[in-house]
Chain A
Amino acid sequence: MEIPCVFHEAHLMRQLHKFHGGVHSPQHKQESTARPIAAARLPTRLVVPMHQHIGNRAKPLVQVGDTVLKGQMIGQADGYVSCAVHAPTSGVVTAIEMATVPHPSGLPDLCITIAPDGAERWVERTPLDYRAMNPSELRNRLRDLGLAGLGGAVFPSHAKLNPGKQPKVPTLILNGAECEPWITCDDMLMRERAAEIVAGAKIMQHMLGSDEVLIGIEDNKPEALAAMRAACAGTAFEVIAVPTIYPGGGAKQLTKVLLGKEPPAGGRSTDIGVQVFNIATSYSLARAVLHGEPLISRIVTVTGNVERPQNFEVLLGTPVKELVALAGKPRSDTHGYIMGGPMMGFTLPADHAPVVKATNCLIASSPALFPPSPPALPCIRCTQCAQACPVGLQPQDLYWFARGREFGKAQEYDLFDCIECGCCDYVCPSHIPLVQYYRFAKSEIWAREREKNQADVARERHEFRETRLERAEKERAEKLAAKTQGSKTPASGDTDAKQAAIQAAIERAKLKRAGVVPQNVENLPAERLKEIEEIEARRIKLKEAMEKQNETWPD
């Protein structure tokens, strides 16, 4: 009697905080919560991308023609920040090739295609005795089970379930806020499978050594709140209703609301002793640890311009087209599919792209639901964007710098703290596509960083080579000096032999080439030949310059 009462009091008494800005946009959640989660049909084929998480792409472990079992690892994690990929069902590997993936670029990526055999034959599944296991071994197992954050960022979970240098992470937050309009997959999962989410949270608490576990859910989900509270009975976990405001489900925003503190600019949540996981990640963790099931399916909201909006439990790799068809015949004015929500999602390059670990929601879009935004007007510096920005940035300044390609300035104004939530876009009276500018600026800065790193490596390698050549030259000179009287013939004889060998090899290669490849020097266009000539001329000049330099250097 006494004890539950105390916990009840605790969550009533918790003082909530506010984050800066945010917007109230139409929710559109009811559409897809009227029906329970349904299991999606086995599709005709599964296209499984090797890169569904942040970090290195997984390395294929199978070959075309191989028979695979449901849950068999088909892609191996490559490095620490990476995770494994599994066969979502039993069947035969029919292709390993570049194929369309859900990415805003529309560029293809490496995928393994499986033709299901319909038998759903599982690999052997072994539950993990996580309390008895060595923490690092446990993390490795989770990486091999393919666990990644299902809230949208798909960061490999094992890497976050590591207290690192600290002895523990005092506060664990489960994120059930689900603030973005249209999306309801977390809501439905909490309503229907709360017990397993809580079981996952216990494993996380064990791995991080957390003292407190807070579960934040927006107050527009009363059923989910009730279900989670019931499942947490008898534990010290606190289920907390947080105000409904976008982007209240951002990790930093939720932390601010629950704890009143936030990581420093450019910092991580662990800097203030907090780790945040999505509730769906917690569910998958429980399936993985307690049942030995790798991550091969997830809940996806199918909504928007469809007949029967609903949540489905979908095998990863299911083509979007086949999944959407389960929600009724697509309406004729559907002109594309948005993956994610309307604020942060993107339009899929094609409807045969597969569902991946990051696919929380598919919205069939139509001109009626998402009218094109009116033409942009110049910025009037009204600062409405700054008032809406949940990070407290100055979007109008960032826009100015990004547009003028003053990327250094944009960085000084904390461009990389922007979470691309789209609040600024949403409120801007001039309809400027602000987030697009920030994405553009960020990718330019990354590209420059890559170029700079490559240049640094090239500089180092070049300098090393110079020293090596210099040393070799000196050694040769010393040797020569040592036997000034010695005959020169052996040396020249040596080079003659070498020359002859090269010539013979050339002849052989010429013969071979005549048979194998028609493309050869004789057929080269004039400009290519000219180019080679120019390079040759440059090389001679270069050599002369180098020799001159060598002469002038005192030894």
Chain B
Amino acid sequence: MLTALLVMIGLALFLGLVLGFSAIKFKVEDNPLVQKIDAILPQTQCGQCGFPGCKPYATAIAKGEADINQCPPGGEEGIRKLAELLGVEAKPLNAEHGVPKPKSVAVIDENLCIGCTLCIQACPVDAILGAAKHMHTIIAQECTGCELCLPPCPVDCIRMEPIQEDIANWKWKSPVYSMKRT
């Protein structure tokens, strides 16, 4: 158990370091329009839009090869922002690509995981930690809820759990009251 833990912590530290470093080293200059579009996309990296990630979808939109209503996690608000940026009419989400769902994170059932590492290979944001044959865990903070790790798991031990409201993420609601007519 302890070694597993150490391995995971080590891995987390290492990945964090490499990540920070690579962010500086591999910085690529991009088409500014693509960047602006990409900044609006939610970065769930789920592929529901039909492209392998948000950036390729942003590139396709910029080239005029894809419509602006293909990203379910972005929802109506995302579409509205894209429409605003591109100076086009907003339109309803294309249901072919899916429907918006409450934001969830993946959870691995620790009793069942066989440590096959298949989910690690599927995760687009490296949010899964674990070494071969060891129990795997998901870093809830990094999980985007893309669901791409569910199908590859040979023992079906990953499930999605909607993020619960707690004091830290609770929001004041807009006042609801009847407005009297004058």
Chain A contacts to B: CB under 8 angstroms: 51, 101, 103-105, 107, 109, 375-378, 402-403, 433, 436-437, 439-440, 442-444, 446-447, 450-451, 454-467, 502, 505-506, 508-510, 512-513, 516-517, 520-521, 532, 534-536, 538-539, 541-542, 545-546, 549
Contact = CB atoms under 8 A, between A and B. Distances in A.
Given A458-B43, A509-B114, A545-B52, A464 B23 contact: yes
- The majority secondary structure among interface residues of chain A is helix
Contacts of A460: 19, 23
A222 B111 CA distance: 68
A442 B112 contact: no
Interface in B95-131: 98, 109, 111-112, 114-116, 122, 124-127
B166 A462 contact: no
A51 B168 CA distance: 11
A509 B112 contact: yes
Given A433-B175, A458-B125, A107 B166 contact: yes
14 contacts: A101-B167, A109-B166, A375-B179, A447-B171, A458-B45, A458-B144, A459-B43, A461-B19, A462-B125, A467-B22, A502-B116, A532-B150, A542-B52, A549-B52
A363 to B, nearest CB: 21
B174 interface: yes
B182 A107 contact: no
A117 B45 CA distance: 55
A268 B55 CA distance: 39
Given A376-B179, A505-B114, A535-B147, A461 B174 contact: no
A465 B171 contact: no
The size bracket of the interface on B is 35 or more
A536 B43 contact: no
A358 B125 CA distance: 40
Contact of B167 (A109, A466, A546): A109
B46 to A, nearest CB: 8
Interface of B: 18-19, 22-23, 26, 38, 41-48, 50-56, 98, 109, 111-112, 114-116, 122, 124-127, 142, 144, 147-148, 150-152, 154-157, 165-167, 169-175, 177-180, 182
A392 B180 CA distance: 29
Contacts of A447: 169, 171
Given A105-B167, A509-B112, A461 B142 contact: yes
B125 A509 contact: no
Nearest to B159: A519
A541 B57 CA distance: 14
Contacts of A377: 179-180, 182
A107 B52 contact: no
Contacts of A465: 124-126
A406 to B, nearest CB: 12
Nearest to B125: A461
A70 to B, nearest CB: 28
Contacts of B166: 107, 109
Contact of A375 (B127, B167, B178): B178
Given A444-B171, A539-B151, 10 more contacts: A375-B179, A436-B175, A439-B172, A440-B175, A443-B171, A455-B41, A509-B114, A516-B112, A535-B147, A535-B148
